[in-house]
């Protein structure tokens, strides 16, 4: 993986801070960022690391000293300048196929967030919209705050 750019890093930390503040205040589970690996399959291993992940309290039980066994409830991918639409679509499908309940694709260039659910539904949020997802009950943030 190539290192990400400054915009990617800033967007990731902005969204992680907003999400973490809400999750902690409401005791909903765990938020992690960075190179945290999730083992989704074994023999052979499939390990993915989202930019940000949310795991409910029930999911935290599966954590061990190594990679987390199973997917996060919510995987958040912040697109970098090197990501292509087919790559993002493939990774999103893989997360959902292997057990994530929701995947957010954050696009700094377009200033949008696409929310994808395991049931196949999706919704695109623009800068003036308020981002909501039942995966994080009660969490609401104006999309523009993510890119501030």
Comparing 121 with 37, the larger pLDDT belongs to 121
pLDDT digits (tens, 9 = 90+) for 70-104: 789 999 999 998 889 999 999 999 999 989 999 99
Average pLDDT over the chain reads: 90
The residue-averaged pLDDT of 28-33 equals 94
All structural domains of the chain, each given as residue ranges with its CATH number in brackets, are 6-146 (3.90.1570.10)
What is the spatial distance between Cα 129 and Cα 62, in angstroms, rounded to a whole number?
Answer: 34
40 contact partners, CB below 8 Å, separation of at least 6: 46, 47, 48, 70, 71, 94, 98, 99
Question: Is the pLDDT confidence value at 60 over 70?
Answer: no
pLDDT score of 63: 58
State pTM to two decimals: 0.91
Per-residue pLDDT at 35 exceeds 90? no
Q: What is the rounded CA–CA span in Å between residue 135 and residue 103?
A: 10
* Paired strand residues for 142: 130
């Amino acid at each position: 993986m190539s290192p990400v750019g400054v915009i990617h890093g800033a967007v990731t930390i902005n969204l992680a801070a907003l999400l973490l503040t809400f999750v902690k205040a409401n005791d909903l589970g765990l938020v992690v960022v960075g190179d945290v690996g999730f083992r989704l399959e074994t023999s052979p291993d499939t390990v993915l690391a989202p930019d940000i992940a949310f795991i409910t309290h029930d999911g935290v039980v599966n954590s061990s000293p190594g990679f987390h066994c199973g997917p996060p409830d919510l995987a958040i991918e912040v697109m970098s300048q090197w990501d292509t639409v087919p790559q993002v679509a493939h990774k999103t499908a893989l997360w959902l196929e292997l057990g994530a309940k929701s995947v957010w694709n954050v696009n700094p260039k377009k200033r949008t967030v696409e929310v994808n659910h395991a049931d196949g539904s999706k919704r695109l949020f623009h800068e003036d919209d308020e981002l909501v997802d039942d995966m994080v009950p009660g969490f609401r943030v104006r999309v523009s705050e993510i890119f501030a």
